[in-house]
Amino acid sequence: MRYNKVDEKIIERLKNIVGERNVTMDPEKLEVYSHDEEGQPRVEIPPEVVVFPETTEQVSEIMKLANEELIPVTPRGAGTGLSGGAVPLYRGIVLSLEKMNKILELDEKNLTITVEPGVVTGEIQKFANRHGLLYAGDPCSGDSSFIGGNVAENAGGNKVIKYGPTGNHVLGLEVVLPSGEITFFGGKRVKDVTGYNLVQLMVGSEGTLGIITKIILRLLPLPKYVVDLLVPFKTLREAIDFVPVIVREGKIVPTSIEFMDKPSLLLTEEFLNSKLPYDDAEAQLIIELEGNNKSAVEDDYERIGNLCFKHGALEVFVADNRNTREKIWRIRKSIAEAVNALYPANCLEDVVVPTSNIPELMREVERISQEHAIKAISYGHA
């Protein structure tokens, strides 16, 4: 399809829709919106203009204009993605949702929260926690990514093994279609069998079917007790092979199972100037458990701890206070940032396989990196 260029006439119409302060053609600012957080070398394509709508109605008017004039539009969240989803391949308009950043409603009776797409995911978690509730979506980029981007990408994250990806928590969506029509899918109902599941069609559609302008998320009661286990292993293979054992032999589904190899851990410790015990181990696992019964949580981590030693763990460190847990998770969540800071030229790939195939995947990564003399850093969640 052949698209038209953004001319002065289009710029003026955009300014009439969102106001002059919400339209930019400044080359320095356009460069910021030409890429996401993928490492170098990366695709960088500057848009012709960036607009910052503040309401659903403004998004609708922008899309009507673009549809009428055949101008390409690329919706953008925080730009924290690693796969080029926010890059405006056809230039045109980047529609940034960063100013649509309000938490609109907390419904404690129905256990839902309604938000705009530009709300930082971590802020939703903190807001829910203050009310004794849990938003279980927890991508590693949660302190900077927007919830709209999480929904558009169906982001996974640290708690995906127990709670599933973002789409599992989405009940309703307000969406602006390419024509500019405003529509709503779903609602506050957990069960809905009336026709096609258009909510889940939009989840993970990466902005290709419409622009998400409001989101209803499901909340859960906040667990009273949370414990993290930090488990170092002598070899990479022992750590990876142990991941499916936790569920299969332990009969426990943890909240999180995170893996860090030695290179990723040492790199991030250098970047943060912070250390974990046994950082000379070839690999470490973070295993998080939660629940409302303290003795049950303790029983679970004792059972997993015994399994860890049975399968070659060097030690099992129990982090049952907030400061220690935050220190562990800060290192895990900072790995990607550390890689980009210390190795600007890198290729970062996000690979997904069934939990049972993780050992095979890691063995192949190790084999390929050795065969081609490439430094491979491996980390992620089950």
82, 173: one domain: no
Q: Assess whether 294 and 334 both reside in one domain.
A: yes
pTM to 2 decimals?
A: 0.93
Q: For 315-371, how does the pLDDT look when each residue is reduced to its tens digit (9 = 90+)?
A: 999 999 999 999 999 999 999 889 888 888 788 878 888 877 888 888 898 899 999
* Tens of pLDDT, residues 36-75: 987 777 889 999 999 999 999 999 999 999 999 999 999 9
pLDDT at 140: 86
213 and 260 inside one domain: no
Taking each helix axis from N to C end, the angle separating 322-333 and 335-342, rounded to the nearest 10 degrees, works out to 40
Residue 176's DSSP bridge partners are 182, 211
Q: Judge whether 1 lies within some domain.
A: no
Q: Is residue 240 in a domain?
A: yes
Residues 201 and 275 in one domain: no
Residue 41, CA atoms < 13 Å, CB-side half-sphere? 0
CA dist 196 → 184, 185, 199, 234 (Å): 13, 10, 9, 50
**Pick from 134, 105, 133: nearest CA to 119:** 105
User: Residue 372 belongs to what domain range?
Assistant: 225-381
Residue 373 lies in a domain: yes
CA–CA gap between residue 60 and residue 167 (Å, rounded): 24
- Token pair of 27, please? 């080359």
Q: Do residue 283 and residue 207 come from a single domain?
A: no
Residues 63 and 202 in one domain: no
pLDDT recorded at residue 133:
99
How many structural domains compose the chain?
3
The last residue of one of the domains, among 171, 198, 221, is 221
Q: Is 9 helix (H, G, I), strand (E, B) or coil?
A: helix
Q: End of a domain among 166, 189, 221? A: 221
CA distance 43 to 88: 10
For residue range 232-262, list pLDDT tens digits in order. Answer: 999 988 998 999 999 999 999 999 999 999 9
Q: Which residues pair with 345 in a beta bridge?
A: 40
Same domain, 234 and 288: yes
Answer yes or no: do 323 and 235 share one domain.
yes
* Helices 8-18 + 56-69 axis angle, to 10: 160
Question: Above 80 in pLDDT, residue 10?
Answer: yes
Reported as a pLDDT band with limits 50, 70 and 90, residue 83 is confident
